[in-house]
Structure 1
Amino acid sequence: MDKARNVDMRWFFAVLAAYFLIQVAVRVAMPPTLGLDEAEQAFRSQWLAAGYGPQPPFYNWLQYAAFSISGVSLLSLAVVKNALLFTSYVIYGLTARMILKNSVLAVVATLGLLTLPQVAFEMQRDLTHTVAVFFAGCVFLYGFIRSLKKPDVLSYLVTGIGIGIGLLSKYNFALLPASALLAALLDPQMRKRVFDWRMALTAITALVIALPHLFWLKDNLGFATARTLKKLTDGGNASYVVQVAMGSGLLVLAVIGFCAVTLLVFAFAFGKPFLSAVSGRSQWTQLLERIMLFSILGILLLVIFGGAAHIKDRWLVPLFFIFPLYLCLKIEASNVAVSNPLRRLVPVVAIIMIAVPTILFGRIAAATLNGDYERLNVPYAQLAAALRQQGEPAAILAEGSLLAGNLRKDFVPATVISTDYPGFKPTVSISKERPLLVVWQLSTAQGNALPAKAAEWLRSVPELGSIAPEVSTIEVPYYYARNSDSYRFGYAWVAPAD
């Protein structure tokens, strides 16, 4: 590769910081409605637990801490997510700088993250636990590479921290350290680092971090895995052979979907020499190749023996986020002569940086033209404002976590209970002065009766079981409504009888 001028990584990180600050500003400028994952964070921040359900609790703990400091707000949600993403990019950049001789390629590798749709777009749209596992993957990769390159106690400690956080973020993260371990064992020099006594420090650190949740998981395995396993293995009435074929095919499509844009952008940035880089090989390219291959093999085994028929590309985030770094390592190892790739890459990345927040905001604002409403167009905050004019509830019973989380944000300090989460059973004091507010969403074909799960919940409360609440409805205009379109909610105020 031609000797391109070095890039000061600090300036690069400053640009990234500005980008994520813009993402925070755009999210706050959007309607104050919470998405599905955001609402889950707001709802579950009412209590601190070692486990909450299908997803491990790291992001919940992080958001709980942030809410404890700043209060429940959309700004807090946006800051936590983007701070975590910015930190992940910085760690990834430092890892790239550690093993790439050319700092320009280190910048290219890090910018390559913005060419991964699952990282650049989906994480901003409405993901939380995937953001956490991406962060954990970056921490692990930094510690792991450092342990192999210049091993010391700190590098093994960081590796353990990455594993611990990863296991607390998403269960499929376990494939990454397992694949990395197998990949390192196949290299004679790296194998020495695996059998280093300091690996015990890595294992102990990871175990200590994950231990509270592992104890919880031991007693709640079915609760934690049932929904995920159902989604993974739901192949309808398909035979075993069809299910395996379906799972294998979707795995191939997921890998292509994850990597295709990055390949196209890099091919444009590097030009014809990019094809020659395929032959580039080094100790590091072989390591990352093996990690990705072992990861694919692990998912394939899940398809064959676990019946997994539905593989989504975003599930590859903790396994294939190393792809841009891998490509840059291949380019450097090939020694092909290329001009400064940043000259072509920066305009493409700039377009992505502009397009992502524009699309995120635009698809919500476009409803005023096309009447196609997204979750963020639903006017939960306006609903809350209208209901607060009628009274202040001691507690709210909401139908579903999406509604519960949004009402939690706008009804602090009232306790919010969700009919789809029976694990949260707070003690609330309900009176005529501070009654219970039951709220649910109404579809156009749905009647105005109290939902079955809400009625069942009321019957379980002795002082409320015999009460037949008066049901009311309210229509609230969508955010960016077309022709005054509105969303219907049902609600009922319930208080103990005299």
Structure 2
Amino acid sequence: MSVLAPTADRMAAMADRSSWLWSLWGVVAIGLAYGLVYTSMRLAISHNLPQDDVTANILAQTLEPGYVVRQPPLHEWLLWSVQRLTGPTLLSFLIIKYGLLTATFAFLYLVGKRVFADLRWAAMGALSPLFLYQIGWNLHEGVTHTMALICAVAASMWAFMRIAERGGIGDYLLFGLIAGIGLLSKYSFAGYLFVLLASALLQPSLRARVLDWRMLASIAAGGVIASPFLYWLVAGRHDLVALYGEAVAPKTSSRLTARAIGLGKAIYAPLAFLFPLDVILPVLFPGMLRTGREAVRQGVDPRSFDRGKADWPLLVFHITLGGFLVLILGALSTGATHYLERYMHPFLPFFLLTPLWLLVLVERSGNAR
């Protein structure tokens, strides 16, 4: 027994070290290392700014309540702040981009801890955005303003979970604070908030939290945070409806044709946006397809909504479903046709959490060990 004891101790030590990888700090460490590697590679290759970053670099030389109507000012505000230390350099953009990405991993992990029973799944869910082409690949040269949106979506979901679990006035204020920041990242965050709260209303336990009077504190906090930009929009008489028309307006002369094209792209684009994760998982774990069919059936059956406590995978499914409905209604009501996966960044809030639901299906299918 004395000979085996050291071996058992070493095995326990190895287990402790491996468990650290699945902790919050392990996920943060992976995010920081990932950002450091790509920052070093990017700086070694060139210090030139991508085209979109050149414009942002010029705008961020002054701190303004708003810059261009097409984008809210959060990214420029962050850039202005970081450049007080770094100057108007490529490094400032990389610090913001990979700092926000690491923060996104952290918030997704905190969300995943409530979605999964096993912390290993929570860690994999936190890192799942790297398996989406538009983030895992295009992130390094694009996704300028979208990184703030990505982080705000993950953070707001975590804050909403705190409301459901605790429901203190501080939790509502925190949710409102993050929501206000999200509204300053991209306009589509407002649509995500609507879908999040509407989806929560389907579950009685969450409905009580949403309809609580303290939600007014969230609204007030969010309004205060977003007020400088909202004032800038109103004072400048900027037309957001016209902006939407320019971004996803019909590209055909026939409104009927535009609606048909938009409807097809509204279904295709989210699936393409989730590529290749939405292909890899079913290939590796085919059992998740059967589990998924059952989950979808229950997810659209109102009788399954009341389970006594918050069902987070169900909420994520409803948010995803709501995202599809938003795109479809947009196509049918306005004839929007410009739904392509590379233009899906504004609609990313509806589908950023979807990989968590896909991983839940894998976990439930019993294929993963």
User: Is the pair's TM-score, using the shorter chain for normalization, greater than 0.5?
Assistant: yes
Q: Which residue of 2 aligns with 1:316?
A: 347
Worse-superposed segment, 225-234 or 60-69: 225-234
Q: For the Cα contact (< 8 Å) 1:235–1:309, is it kept in 2?
A: yes
Distance in 2 between the 1:181 and 1:114 partners? 27
| TM-score between the two structures when normalised by the length of structure 2 | 0.84
Task: Report the CA distance shift for 1:107/1:146 in structure 2 as closer, same or farther (over 3 A).
Answer: same
Letter in 2 for 1:261: P
1:208 aligns with 2:237: no
Distance in 2 between the 1:228 and 1:32 partners? 34
Q: Which residue of 2 aligns with 1:178?
A: 194
Worse-superposed segment, 56-65 or 124-133: 124-133
1:293 counterpart (294, 318, 321):
321
**Structure 2 alignment gaps of length 5 or more:** 1-14, 299-306
Q: Which residue of 1 aligns with 2:148?
A: 132
Q: For the Cα contact (< 8 Å) 1:118–1:317, is it kept in 2?
A: no
Worse-superposed segment, 276-285 or 129-138: 276-285
1:337 aligns with 2:366: yes
1:120 aligns with 2:136: yes
Q: Which residue of 2 aligns with 1:273?
A: 287
Q: Which residue of 1 aligns with 2:359?
A: 328
Q: In the TM superposition, what is the alpha-carbon distance from 1:275 to its structure 2 partner?
A: 2.9
Q: For the Cα contact (< 8 Å) 1:50–1:57, is it kept in 2?
A: yes
Q: In the TM superposition, what is the alpha-carbon distance from 1:337 to its structure 2 partner?
A: 2.8
2:42 counterpart (27, 30, 44):
27
CA deviations 1:184-221 (Å, max 9, x no partner) are: 11111111111122211211111111111111111334
**1:8-407 alignment runs, 5 A limit:** 8-53=23-68, 54-222=70-238, 226=242, 228-236=244-252, 238-269=253-284, 271-278=285-292, 279-280=294-295, 283-313=311-341, 314=344, 315-332=346-363, 334=364, 336-340=365-369
Task: Report the CA distance shift for 1:180/1:152 in structure 2 as closer, same or farther (over 3 A).
Answer: same
Task: Report the CA distance shift for 1:338/1:234 in structure 2 as closer, same or farther (over 3 A).
Answer: closer
Question: SS at the partner of 1:251?
Answer: helix
Distance in 1 between the 2:211 and 2:105 partners? 30
Q: For the Cα contact (< 8 Å) 2:313–2:357, is it kept in 1?
A: yes
Q: Which residue of 2 aligns with 1:377?
A: none
Question: SS at the partner of 1:61?
Answer: helix
Q: In the TM superposition, what is the alpha-carbon distance from 1:167 to its structure 2 partner?
A: 1.0
Q: In the TM superposition, what is the alpha-carbon distance from 1:145 to its structure 2 partner?
A: 2.0
- Report the structure number with the largest CA radius of gyration: 1
Task: Report the CA distance shift for 1:272/1:299 in structure 2 as closer, same or farther (over 3 A).
Answer: closer
> Aligned residues, how many?
333
CA deviations 1:152-195 (Å, max 9, x no partner) are: 33332232122111111111111111001111111111111111
Q: For the Cα contact (< 8 Å) 1:173–1:319, is it kept in 2?
A: no
Letter in 2 for 1:82: Y
Q: In the TM superposition, what is the alpha-carbon distance from 1:223 to its structure 2 partner?
A: 6.3
Q: In the TM superposition, what is the alpha-carbon distance from 1:62 to its structure 2 partner?
A: 0.5
Task: Report the CA distance shift for 1:95/1:171 in structure 2 as closer, same or farther (over 3 A).
Answer: same
Letter in 2 for 1:151: G
Question: SS at the partner of 1:155?
Answer: helix
Q: In the TM superposition, what is the alpha-carbon distance from 1:50 to its structure 2 partner?
A: 1.2
Distance in 2 between the 1:305 and 1:75 partners? 43
Distance in 1 between the 2:163 and 2:180 partners? 16
Q: For the Cα contact (< 8 Å) 2:125–2:355, is it kept in 1?
A: yes
Distance in 2 between the 1:268 and 1:105 partners? 18
Q: In the TM superposition, what is the alpha-carbon distance from 1:262 to its structure 2 partner?
A: 1.2
Q: Which residue of 1 aligns with 2:303?
A: none
Distance in 2 between the 1:297 and 1:155 partners? 29
Q: Considering fraction of residues, name the structure with more helix.
A: 2
Distance in 2 between the 1:154 and 1:105 partners? 29
Q: For the Cα contact (< 8 Å) 1:233–1:308, is it kept in 2?
A: yes
Q: In the TM superposition, what is the alpha-carbon distance from 1:272 to its structure 2 partner?
A: 3.7
Distance in 1 between the 2:186 and 2:143 partners? 12
Letter in 2 for 1:100: F
Q: In the TM superposition, what is the alpha-carbon distance from 1:293 to its structure 2 partner?
A: 1.7
Letter in 2 for 1:301: L
**Structure 1 alignment gaps of length 5 or more:** 341-498
Q: In the TM superposition, what is the alpha-carbon distance from 1:82 to its structure 2 partner?
A: 0.9
Distance in 2 between the 1:206 and 1:168 partners? 10
